[in-house]
Amino acid sequence: MSVEGAGLIRGFIETGRNLVGSYVDPRRWVTVQYPEERRATPENSRVYPFLVYDGADPEEGLRCVSCKICEKECPPQCIYIVPAQDERGRPRKHPAIFDIDISVCMSCQICVEVCPFDSIKMDQAYAWDREDRFGGLLLHKADLARPNRYYRELHPAEARVVDEHLARERELRESGVRAAVRASLPGSGEPGGGT
């Protein structure tokens, strides 16, 4: 037979131990002191998309060719693209406007999966608090552009594969063999597929 109050006393000892222990040993803490102290995000975590650019100029170096595939695929339709035009009014392979409304974005990563040019990737920055909940959460091309270096920091392994792939592409394009390869091996020249 159990002693009266033994369960109560065990409970009080447990909570008392926590009470004293959390002063003595901060490793017991189950929370972090957020703004000062942050948990490292896992490599595969994702928040909102960003646009990758090569080189130094975020405008000219954008990989995006404004093919609008991501715009069409985006389930909540938070992407808005207007292609740039040259002086004769023909569409250039460059976006004039590329907006993402992150108040609508559901972080599904489908835009990343469908992009044939490895130009849109998922960001890991999660602090998106803004004073203005409409304009402040509508990101424009300039807000979205990040250098390739940034992508490499976020996803080193994945970025290496993408970089190798893009380099091979460029090599093929420059050596002029591209057309021949295309002709002989239909389907193998399919770009994208970052992983």
Q: Are 123 and 41 in contact (CB under 8 A)?
A: no
- Tell me the three-class secondary structure of 134-154, residue by residue: CHHHEECHHHHEEEHHHHHHH
For position 24 contacting other proteins by CB under 8 A, the verdict is: no
| Other beta carbons less than 10 A from residue 165's beta carbon | 16
CB nearer to other proteins: pick between 13 and 96: 13
For position 127 contacting other proteins by CB under 8 A, the verdict is: no
For position 16 contacting other proteins by CB under 8 A, the verdict is: yes
Residue 114 region, left (φ>0) first, then alpha (ψ -120 to 50), else beta? alpha
* Piece in contact with other proteins (CB under 8 A), picked from 4-12, 101-109, 115-123, 183-191: 4-12
**Unique residue bearing structure tokens 């102290």:** 37
For position 29 contacting other proteins by CB under 8 A, the verdict is: yes
For position 191 contacting other proteins by CB under 8 A, the verdict is: no
* 168 SS3 class: helix
Shortest Cβ distance from residue 127 to other proteins (Å)? Answer: 18
Interface ranges with other proteins (CB under 8 A): 2, 4, 7-8, 11-12, 14-16, 18-19, 21-23, 28-31, 33
